[in-house]
Amino acid sequence: MNRYIALLLISMCLISCEKKEKPTGILNEDKMVNVLIDIHVTEGISSAMPVPYDSSQVLYKLLEREVFLKHEVTDSVFTESMRYYLQYPDRMDHIYARVIDSLVVLESKPKSEE
């Protein structure tokens, strides 16, 4: 009897650990990287402005909207994509490693090249 219970528990565990398919409407990793790069650049721009905090938040929201328009993504799709990738830490680490690498390259470029 104990063997059957153990077998049942192991089977349930294996089924629940099975990788889920990515739901429709989730950004692919490349697009997610590109959007996140622009989001972080936008955060840097708005926080570096010599304006009060609440004004910088308004500016950030305007710039964020421009990022979403540029990438043809809605804020809800971006939010759902973030939620999805946050469920898979290894994938999110890989995405953010690419984002950080790209931001380092952008930061190291002389201003005249931009």
**Position 108, amino acid:** S
Percent of the chain scoring above 90 in pLDDT: 50
For residues 91 and 33, is the Cβ–Cβ distance under 8 A? no
- For residues 104-109, give the mean pLDDT: 88
**Nearest 5°: phi and psi at 26?**
-95, 135
Q: Is the pLDDT of residue 6 over 50?
A: no
pLDDT value of residue 17: 55
Higher confidence at residue 30 or residue 53?
A: 30
Separation CA 62–CA 52 (nearest Å): 16
Domain positions in the chain: 22-113
Residues 6+ apart with CB under 8 A from 39: 64, 67
More confident position, 70 or 5: 70
More confident of the two residues 14 and 95: 95
CA 53, chain centre distance (Å): 24
Mean pLDDT over all residues of the chain? 82
Reported pTM: 0.74
